[in-house]
Amino acid sequence: MALPQTTVDTSKSTLFDAILENESNDLLSTGFDEALTEALITVLGEIDDPPNVHLLATESVLKWVRDDFVLASEAADLIKSETLSMRTDESVSENRLVISEESVVSLVTAGEYTAGLPTDNEEFVGAANETWNERWNQAEEFSLRTPPRSRVEASLNDEFGSEVEEDFRAMLDAVKSTRSNEGLDAVDVCLLVAAKHELLLYDVSKWGEDIGLASKATFSRAKTNLEESGLIETEKVPIDVGRPRLRLLLGEEDLRDADIDELPSVAQRLTSRIPA
């Protein structure tokens, strides 16, 4: 493990860069909180040839990952490539460790600082591997229930074209987080991008359900919420048989005039003006 001495940094990502640099052994990470887990997933996604990492964390931490499509879909890509696997163990919070066959790094957080304290003591490293590999084998697998972001973007390209896919990627990057209590979620992003391109709700919601993003009912509820907020409008499009389909349109002029990477901030600003 490429951490020859105690390392202290205010950036957890920088610390993981140092830990994972040139690492070829499989790693077992235990006891991570939300911030450490996010930093680990982010760094693993940025490394060209990352090691395989087993992440053993509490269910609440992994559910926190699942609640944010941006982070969860990145983790899903890592799982798809067999770089990352995740299991739950409710008693792992006693230690925050990164374990390989050759060394163990203890992670200690104090305020804004996180320290990596490495040891290569053979007896300790051997005992740590035996203990935590057994815990890993007994732990339950955790399902993200989130499609990999790469598959979502490729599917958007196939279904609706490259411009829609590029706008989705740009808007998701601008949002940064899609936790339900922090503004727009992944379905909202899809609908706003669809409205920018004047797509049909039926087509977008069917695509979203097929890809595993959300159900048609979830898309319909989100459409209603965005419509009530004035962010989108709909117009009826007659079809040969059955009820008319709904075409999605951006509602406010500010949204129609905004660049795609500005849409999230404009949408949230407009929403905040609406009385509760």
Q: Please state the three-class secondary structure of 103-123 as a single string.
A: CEEEEEEECCEEEEEEECCHH
In CATH, the number for domain 149-272 is 1.10.10
| Confidence bin at 91 (pLDDT 50/70/90) | confident
- What are the residue ranges of CATH 1.10.10 in the chain? 149-272
pLDDT at position 271, please? 80
The residue among 254, 199, 204 whose CA lies nearest residue 229 is 254
Place of tokens 């339900």: 180
When pLDDT is averaged across residues 161-167 and rounded to a whole number, the result is: 97
Computed from CA positions of residues 25, 147, 59, 15, in that sequence, does the dihedral angle turn out positive or negative?
A: positive
Round the average pLDDT of the chain to a whole number and report it: 92
Distance separating the N- and C-terminal Cα atoms of the chain: 53
pLDDT, residue 269, reads 86
The tens digit of pLDDT for each residue in 172-226 reads 999 988 886 667 999 999 999 999 999 999 999 999 999 999 999 999 999 999 9
Structure confidence at residue 15 (pLDDT): 94
Which residues of the chain are in CATH 3.30.870.10 domains?
A: 7-141
**Can you identify the CATH homologous superfamily of domain 7-141?**
Endonuclease Chain A (3.30.870.10)
Judged against a pLDDT cut of 90, whether residue 272 lies above it is answered with no
Question: Which parts of the chain are beta strand (E)?
Answer: 7-9, 27-30, 53-57, 84-88, 97-99, 104-110, 113-119, 140-141, 232-237, 245-250
Q: Indicate the length of the chain as a whole number.
A: 276
